[in-house]
Structures are given as structure tokens and as C-alpha cells.
Amino acid sequence: MSTQDLNNIPKVYFFCFNYRKDRDIEAIKKEAKTYYDNFSEFVDRFEFKFISLEDDLKDNEEYNDSDLDISCWGFKFSELLNKYNPDIIHVFSDSLEGYHVFEENYGDLPYLTLYTVTGMDPLPRYEEGYLIHLRHAIDVGNLHIVTKSSVVSRMLSELGIRSTQVITKTDMKRNQLNKTNNNNKFTIGFASSPMSDNSWEDRGIPLLLDLASSLSSYQFKIAWRSRNMERLALELQQRKLDNVEVLNGFIDMYDFYKDVDAVVAPYTSFHNNHSSPLSIIEAIALGIPVIVTGQVGIKDIISKYDFGIITEATVEDLVQKVRLLVEKYDYYKKQVDSNGTAVFYLDHIEFHEYIKLYTLISEQTSAPTLKYWQNILNKADKYLVMGEREIAYYYNDERVAAMYDEHRFSEYPMRTFDLIERSAINFLIGKFGPFRVSKD
């Protein structure tokens, strides 16, 4: 584990998964790279490095991609961590399922980790044991979780997992957008193409095409950065849609937005979706109103500032809300023009929330993992008491277990049990570490 030298600048390593495989496609990677590029240029209090974990690389293999300005490591990278010794690991991923990959490479003392969850489904598959493991990592300060949506923060809170919400920002500048005014039709943009057939319905592609069919007098512009272009082309042909323009492959997003009047995110579920769609963030920052379904994670921010309209995930309500947006377009345009940049543009970079978190985390030291403590106790023929059932058995008192909450040390008999526990902890720390637990 890294011990920060006071003469050195703290090192922050950005991590994402398989960046090279879907170059310029996934919003997760684009967001992570945007922060990395801007922080590297404007923040000198930390040293930054961007790493992509690539599943086609061997154990502890490293490849530097100078064109992308990233380093690529294999999924087993413990030796590389020892070599570079970063102070903070910052992970960008759609769910918390990836945290185990890092702890498997950390060893007994984990690296301090900031983990940004970008998806709407933060833990699609989990076991209670993994939740306990995550809670311990958070409680001792090894893991700090960031979400992009208040909805996701509430989901995690219901699982007993603390998190901090940080609003997604974009570095797209409004003064670089050359808006064209030669549209004969109101143009609706869509730039949240599904990454696979599995997310076709979740991203609302059928709903989007139903909308285009229902609003034949409107123009639709789609930024399609997905491999399944054939399926979209077939759908357009079968529906005989001649009011849909599709841009495929690498896309200059300024060129995409220049003749778009509104941007839509017609998500139909939380699955396979980003909690803070980058196309919606970019549109608002550039002064373009939006229409989103209730399944979009930042609907509360859009509603708060009247950046657009929230719709149900049905074509009937979507048609109605599009017409309402057109009717009141001047009002919503004024709202995004007035507040969009302030909320979603990446400026004052040195004071960004991530920089504040890096500063806080860099002053901490990591603690042993829950697995480490369990192994130590098991070797001593002891065990770790966890959960109400085990507490009741340990104390031989169900009342004690039921009262074991944040107020448990204030009165007798819990105050006495607390002193006993601190004595036991001091025994362990006295044997395995240099510090002691206060009696206060």
C-alpha cells in the first residue's frame, strides 16, 4: 500500500474497463476521459494517470496507447500497482460489481478508492455477503462511492450503502456551437444508442420510432454509435420512416447538435441505462431543451430548473409532451440559456467536487479489509460477530441485539459492553498494529 511522501504530489489513477474496444462510444468512458483530460491540464495539486483494464491483456501486462493518451493493463494488475504506487484509485463503472476486481489486486491493505457508479442499476446482482463487504470498506474509509443521480443514491441507501451525488459535467462550449436556423421542421435529436440488442427496449428505441411515426411532420436526427445498425435500418425501412436522419460511426457532436431543437431520452427502464445521460447533459449545457421519461436519473434536476419536460414511457404521452414543448418552446429555451451552463458545464475545474474528494481522501490511510480481519480471527480460532442473529447469540441476549444501533453506547448495559469491546479491539491492535482505540 502507498504511503504518501510529503515531497511528492499525490497520484490519482483513473480506471475504466475496456476503453479501446468501444472507442468513442460509451458515455462512461467519455465522461471519465473528460475529467482526466481537464484535471491533468488545469489541476497541479495531483498527478493523474488514465488506465483501461483490458480483458485481452495478460496478467500484469502494460501497454501504453499514445494516440489515446491512456495506459492499458490486464485484469490482474497487483504488480503494476506495487510498481506505480498510486495514492488514490478513481474507478468509473456502470455498477459496483466491478469493485471486487480491484480488491482482488489490492492485497491485505487496499488502496483508497473513489468509485463513480454511472448506471441506474448500481447492483444488478449481489449477495448479502458482498453488501457486508462493501459496507465495511465504506465504514473504514477504504471506499468512497459517487453516484450521478439522487435515484441511485436512494437505491444504495436502502441497501445500507452510503454515497455522494456528483452532477455530471461536460466540457462542450456553447460558443463553439454554430446553430443553424434553416430548419423547416422542428428537429428532435437522440444520442443514446444501445450498446447491444439486450438494451434495445431499455433505451427506448421502439418508443422513439413510434414517436417518429406519430409525428411525421417533425424531423428526427439520431446519433447511432452502436454495432447493430442493420437492425435500425430494417426498422426504419419497415416503418417507411422518411423523417429520420441517422449519423453512424464517429460523430462530431457539435455538428450533431447544431440543427437540433430538442433532445429526447425515451428510456423505458432502469436496466442498461446511464443514470445521467451525456446527451441530455450536453444538450442542456449547449442551450437545447430536453424531453425525458421518468426512468432518467436526473429528471429531478430537469424538473427543478425547467430544462424540459418529463414524460411517461408511452407514445401517447410522449407525443403530447413534444407538442407541449413546442408550444412553450421560448420558455424552456430561456431556462436552458439562463441556467444550463451553470449547472452542467465543466468550469472552475480546480474547485470541482472530485478535486475536493481527492483532497479529503489523500489525507487518509487505508484499513484492513473485512476478509483480512476474518482470516486473522479464523487463524486464532475466533470469529467475527456480524448481524443481529449473531449478536444475540454472542451476548446470549436478544434484547441487546435489537438495541444494537447508533445509540447503543449511551446507557447501561451497552456502555459496559462497549468498554469490553474496546478492550478486545485494543488487544488486537496492540498485537498487530501501532495504534490504540480511545476510551472516550
The string of pLDDT tens digits covering residues 215-225 is 999 999 999 97
Angle at which helices 128-139 and 99-106 pack, to 10 degrees?
60
CA-CA distance, 422 to 327, in Å (whole number)?
Answer: 66
Report the pLDDT averaged over residues 395-403.
73
Q: CA 252: distance to chain centroid?
A: 24
DSSP track, 70-122: EEEE-S--HHHHHHH--SEEEEEESSGGGHHHHHHHH-SSPPEEEEEE-BS-S
The three three-digit cell numbers of residue 52, written as one number = 483501461
| Per-chain mean pLDDT for the chain | 89
φ/ψ (deg, to 5) at 432? -115, -10
CATH topology match: 11-169+350-362 vs 174-345: yes
Peptide bond into 266 cis (omega under 30): no
Residues forming beta bridges with residue 48, ordered by sequence position: 12
Q: Where are the domains of the chain?
A: 11-169+350-362, 174-345, 385-432
Of 88-97, 124-133, 244-253, the range with the highest mean pLDDT is 88-97
CA-CA distance, 236 to 258, in Å (whole number)?
Answer: 24
For 215-298, where are the alpha helices, taking DSSP H only?
A: 229-239, 253-257, 278-285
Residue bearing cell 479489509: 369
Of residues 429 and 168, more confidently modeled: 168
The string of pLDDT tens digits covering residues 318-342 is 999 999 999 999 999 999 999 999 9
CA-CA distance, 175 to 165, in Å (whole number)?
Answer: 28
Domain 11-169+350-362 has CATH 3.40.50.2000: yes
Report the pLDDT averaged over residues 244-269.
93
Residue 386: the pLDDT is: 76
For residue 50, the SS3 value is: strand
Neighbours of 23 (CB within 10 A): 13
Pair 297, 121: CB distance under 8 Å: no
For the whole prediction, is pTM greater than 0.95?
no
Residue 424: the pLDDT is: 82
Measure Cα distances from 247 to 92, 192, 196, 251, 256 in Å. 27, 12, 17, 7, 8
Report the pLDDT averaged over residues 41-61.
95
Instruction: State the fold for domain 174-345.
Output: Rossmann fold (3.40.50)
Q: Is the dihedral of CA 431, 436, 439, 440 positive or negative?
A: negative
% of the chain with per-residue pLDDT over 90: 65
φ/ψ (deg, to 5) at 127? -115, 160
